[in-house]
A and B are shown apart, each in its own frame.
Chain A
């Protein structure tokens, strides 16, 4: 962490009164895990949208620890940092313990996407209205956009990347493929995370009950009937 704090101190000019997304230091990047500078092709930096964003979008610093390193969930740190703009937080994401010092305004969603490059979780409305950002915190589904990462000291977060892998899909992921539970796919990660949580919640057996329980996930393509069919298949199999 000492190294990371040093990196933060190198950029005292980060404008903390602007939006979080504009907070990245412009002059030289803070290198975090999985955020190497863009590769070069024939001496010319090869920039994709994602690699570019990975390169410049990492305003916070993070380190990875094995899950066994997680000690007591809460430290009595008041105030959380001496710098009012920054906050320290330790949480587990997809079974990996993360120590982060981030801008206090960083949403859980932005932390996952911009600091950890877990871009499966999508930003839709950013106001808790669409459900695209749904992740699990301590096994329960939440809107990660309406939550600050600083609120999640000691919490365990699961994203779509932690639910299944391309080689070993979660049954819901396979069912969404089988039933065409998507068109553009932007809402899909949120739909699947919501559906996975639904499997463990009190929910009636009727399709109407599933629709009610899934009403916090909007699909602008209108794949709702296929989404319900995918969920029905997994529930019936379970």
Chain B
């Protein structure tokens, strides 16, 4: 690990100010340090070499509060375990709780934060190995994954420069919940819908989010839960626990009579970013909640898939995953309405 200067911030204002002044002097971008489960790991591998690290663990951003519109405001430093087990999340956004609890281990969930998880980096083995070519880590160096080990990588939203998948479970649920990301920077605060927060790799895979250098995620807000909606998170992986998703689906479905009045579909393990499938949602909208419709929605979701040699299996896997998740959510909704 390369050495760095550590600064401790006591408030979001101070963190942003320190980052802003650091960037004037340091050639490498400054990094905010929260749980450390991604950043420390990558610093040990020399993938991340910040000259200055701002410890934000003492910022007062660890609250979960109800908003006036009936939604929730989640501080960026709320740990994944606290978020997953919070009564309001368990009762009103169970899909988010399920997604969080399916990720990592209990120890890591006690460390990892909401803001950090939004910025979680890919598990592509070439990104993590400085001896190999990776356009995301070192722009212009190439992509060893195209011909190499890529069964865990993306089939949607990829580019010739990068096929890395976003590994987060939480992000998939937040996309299906249409979360809003609140950030603060030297030029003030702004809000970003989560579907516009992560960037596709294109020709600049090193840029993963729309965050400007030195901008700090302060909290995430959720809208009120849909009335009478069924929802679930289904994750498929190589082992039963403590493994990243090969394919996952977060779905919210509201059914009115025999008609799907509203559906939100997000996919994990298959996208270059947490993947909102507007194509699947379009098939579901106003259709009957049948397995046939779910299968057509799943087929629409992978219409633009570009699999490679060793991840072509994901094209089938994600469809089965989505169909199963939709069946679960639709059944829940029916059970709720009859109750």
Known contacts A17-B3, A80-B8; decide if A150 and B111 are in contact (CB<8 Å).
Answer: no
Size bracket, chain B contacts: 20 to 34
Q: Which of B37, B40, B41, B81 has the most CB of A within 10 A?
A: B40
A157 at the interface (CB under 8 A from B): no
CB-CB < 8 A to A16: which residues of B?
Answer: 3
A131 touches B1 (CB 8 A): no
B67 at the interface (CB under 8 A from A): no
A-B contacts, CB under 8 A, total? 103
Q: CB within 8 Å of A: which of B32-68? A: 33, 36-37, 40-41, 43-44, 55, 57-58
Q: CB within 8 Å of A: which of B56-92? A: 57-58, 81, 85
Q: CB within 8 Å of B: which of A199-234? A: 201-202, 211-217
Which of A41-49, A52-60, A90-98, A139-147 faces chain B?
Answer: A139-147
Interface residue tally for chain A (C-beta within 8 Å): 44
* Interface residues as binary, A163-198 with B (CB distance below 8 Å gives 1, 0 otherwise): 000000000000000000000000000000010011
B189 at the interface (CB under 8 A from A): no
A104 touches B3 (CB 8 A): yes
CB-CB < 8 A to A194: which residues of B?
Answer: 106-107
B108 at the interface (CB under 8 A from A): yes
B106 touches A153 (CB 8 A): no
CB-CB < 8 A to A31: which residues of B?
Answer: none
A147 touches B6 (CB 8 A): no
B105: which of A20, A107, A131, A140 is its contact (CB, 8 Å)?
Answer: A131
Q: Nearest-CB distance from B299 to chain A (Å)?
A: 33
B37: which of A19, A146, A217 is its contact (CB, 8 Å)?
Answer: A146
Q: Which residues of A contact B (CB under 8 A)?
A: 16-17, 19-20, 74, 76-80, 84-85, 87, 103-105, 107, 126-128, 131, 134, 140-143, 146-148, 150-151, 153, 194, 197-198, 201-202, 211-217
Complex: chain A residue closest to B241, CB-CB: A215
- Report the separation of the CA atoms of residues A178 and B7 in the bound assembly, to the nearest whole angstrom: 47
B104: which of A80, A153, A212, A216 is its contact (CB, 8 Å)?
Answer: A216
B9: which of A78, A104, A151 is its contact (CB, 8 Å)?
Answer: A78
- Report the separation of the CA atoms of residues A142 and B5 in the bound assembly, to the nearest whole angstrom: 24
Q: Nearest-CB distance from B289 to chain A (Å)?
A: 30
Q: CB within 8 Å of A: which of B8-49? A: 8-10, 14, 18, 33, 36-37, 40-41, 43-44
B58 touches A74 (CB 8 A): yes
B107 touches A131 (CB 8 A): yes
A20: which of B1, B14, B55, B107 is its contact (CB, 8 Å)?
Answer: B1
CB-CB < 8 A to B4: which residues of A?
Answer: 84, 104-105
- Report the separation of the CA atoms of residues A213 and B242 in the bound assembly, to the nearest whole angstrom: 10
Q: Nearest-CB distance from A144 to chain B (Å)?
A: 9
- Report the separation of the CA atoms of residues A77 and B55 in the bound assembly, to the nearest whole angstrom: 11
Complex: chain A residue closest to B109, CB-CB: A216
A105 touches B1 (CB 8 A): yes
B203 at the interface (CB under 8 A from A): no
Known contacts A201-B106, A216-B104; decide if A148 and B5 are in contact (CB<8 Å).
Answer: no
